[in-house]
């Protein structure tokens, strides 16, 4: 049933009051008309609870801006939305088209820092987020007494004589709920064994991210990525005020999954919503995403935390190959992924989820 306006509604009950469900929640397609983002199509979702988010159809159906009751959730970088035509694969030039957003895909054949793997130069975080989707389908409909909004499309990463990977992505949300679900299937439609790295770069910013914001996660072990991050290990789960000259810190988490095989973690700002608190959570299936990376960047003008489930680390494909953990897709093989993003409000609800995570 649809949960709206303080009560539960069946399809028939809502139909008695409104002639179209767009009055309660909707998804619509729009297009950027100016600047570097000109021509980028997006789907704007509104679930009716105050939870709103954009799906960038021409950027792999990544999640762009997101908010809850007018409070921004996602980090937005100075680049804004950039059309894939401006993508530069070399070195760290990926950062010139990294607009942030609630979820930016990384992969599908490489993730992590620029490197050379078996003679192949690889840029930062791969191509996938700069690939437009085809066969897109944006729509809504009833499924019993639940009203679903969705965007679906296909994203192909391929080269003649090279890899041929197809990502089929479906982003959905229900009217009356404050969460979204990303369901991905990555298939190797080529005729050669292909390296496969996948990371979901979930980016949170101000005002959810502020001094005192806390990360609550079922971490069995937390390891600094490098010497730069080592001094921040003791405070990795709390957020400071912006720091001039701050160098990014990354931490690798070994997470505990629940009985259903999912990992849930959240960022909590207890001062928002007039002291009732606001939390954003990430939930993902661990079987396909066994790694987790926390990106902490609390610099002045570059204030963001990334919560990143992945099937790899972020030091480059050559490093994962050397570790013996680099994954591959055989011809005809398919891998499926599930990631959920949402918000929780109110002290009781936040504390209940925190207790569940810690347990």
Q: How many residues does the chain have?
A: 359
Q: Are strands 179-188 and 164-174 parallel, antiparallel or unpaired?
A: antiparallel
Tokens representing 300 are 């002045």
Tokens representing 50 are 């105050």
Q: What is the pLDDT of residue 120?
A: 96
Q: Could you tell me the domains of the chain?
A: 35-358 (2.70.98.10)
Q: Spell out the residues 6+ positions from residue 11 whose beta carbon is closer than 8 angstroms to its own.
A: 2, 142, 144, 145, 147
Q: Spell out the residues 6+ positions from residue 358 whose beta carbon is closer than 8 angstroms to its own.
A: 216, 218
Report whether 336 contacts 196 (CB < 8 A). no
Return contacts of 111-114, CB within 8 angstroms, 24+ apart: 111/197, 111/198, 111/199, 111/310, 111/312, 111/314, 111/317, 112/197, 112/312, 112/313, 112/314, 112/315, 112/316, 112/317, 112/319, 112/320, 113/314, 113/315, 113/316, 114/90, 114/316
Three-state secondary-structure class, residue 202: strand
Handedness of CA 304, 98, 165, 179 (dihedral sign): positive
Per-residue pLDDT of the chain (359 residues; tens, 9 = 90+): 898 988 998 988 888 888 776 768 899 999 999 999 999 999 999 999 999 999 999 999 999 999 999 999 999 999 999 999 999 999 999 999 999 999 999 999 999 999 999 999 999 999 999 999 999 999 999 998 899 999 999 999 999 999 999 999 999 999 999 999 999 999 999 999 999 999 999 999 999 999 999 999 999 999 999 999 999 999 999 999 999 999 999 999 999 999 999 999 999 999 998 889 999 999 999 999 999 999 999 999 999 999 999 999 999 999 999 999 999 999 999 999 999 999 999 999 999 999 999 98
Instruction: Provide the CB-side half-sphere exposure for 137 (13 A, CA).
Output: 11
Tokens representing 182 are 């990303």
Q: What is the pLDDT of residue 19?
A: 77
Query: 176: phi > 0 → left, psi -120 to 50 → alpha, else beta; which?
Result: left
Report whether 100 contacts 75 (CB < 8 A). yes
Three-state secondary-structure class, residue 106: strand
Q: What is the pLDDT of residue 96?
A: 96
End-to-end CA distance of the chain: 30
Handedness of CA 302, 246, 223, 327 (dihedral sign): positive
Tokens representing 330 are 């055989």
CA triple 343-28-166, angle to 5 deg: 80
- Phi, psi (rounded to 5 degrees) for 216: -115, 120
Q: Rounded to the nearest 10 degrees, how much is the dihedral formed by the CA atoms of 65, 146, 31, 67?
A: -20
Q: What is the pLDDT of residue 328?
A: 98
Tokens representing 284 are 């993902």
Query: Model pTM?
Result: 0.97
Three-state secondary-structure class, residue 305: strand
- How far apart, in whole angstroms, are the C-alpha atoms of residue 76 and residue 81? 9
Q: Are strands 249-255 and 197-204 parallel, antiparallel or unpaired?
A: unpaired
């Amino acid at each position: 049933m649809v949960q709206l306006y303080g009560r539960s509604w069946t399809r028939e009950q809502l139909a008695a009051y409104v002639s179209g469900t767009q009055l309660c929640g909707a998804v619509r397609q729009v297009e950027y008309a100016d600047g570097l983002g000109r021509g980028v199509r997006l789907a704007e979702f509104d679930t009716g609870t105050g939870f709103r988010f954009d799906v960038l159809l021409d950027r792999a159906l990544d999640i762009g801006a997101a908010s809850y009751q007018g409070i921004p959730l996602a980090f937005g970088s100075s680049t804004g939305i950039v059309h894939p035509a401006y993508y530069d694969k070399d070195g760290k030039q990926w950062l010139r088209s990294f607009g942030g957003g609630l979820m930016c895909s990384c992969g599908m054949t490489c993730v992590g820092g620029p490197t050379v793997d078996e003679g192949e130069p690889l840029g930062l975080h791969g191509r996938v987020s700069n690939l437009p989707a085809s066969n897109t389908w944006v729509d809504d409909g009833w499924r019993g007494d639940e009203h679903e909004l969705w965007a679906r499309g296909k994203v192909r990463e391929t080269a003649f004589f090279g890899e041929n990977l197809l990502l089929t992505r479906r982003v959905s949300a229900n009217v009356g709920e404050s969460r979204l679900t990303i369901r991905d299937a990555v298939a190797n439609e080529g005729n050669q064994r292909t390296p496969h790295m996948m990371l979901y770069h979930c980016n949170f910013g101000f005002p959810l991210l502020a001094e005192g914001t806390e990360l609550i996660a079922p971490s069995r072990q937390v390891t600094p990525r490098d010497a730069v991050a080592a001094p921040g290990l003791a405070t990795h789960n709390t957020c400071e005020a912006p720091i001039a000259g701050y160098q990014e810190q990354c931490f690798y988490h070994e997470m505990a999954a629940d009985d259903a095989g999912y990992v849930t973690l959240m960022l909590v700002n207890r001062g928002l919503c007039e002291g009732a608190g606001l939390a954003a959570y990430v939930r993902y299936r661990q079987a396909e995403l066994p790694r987790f990376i926390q990106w902490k960047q609390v610099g002045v003008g570059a204030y963001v935390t990334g919560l990143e489930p992945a099937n790899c680390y972020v030091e480059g494909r050559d490093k994962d190959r050397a570790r013996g953990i680099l994954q591959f897709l055989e011809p005809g093989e398919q891998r499926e992924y599930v990631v959920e993003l949402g918000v929780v409000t109110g002290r009781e609800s936040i504390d209940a989820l925190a207790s569940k995570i810690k347990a």
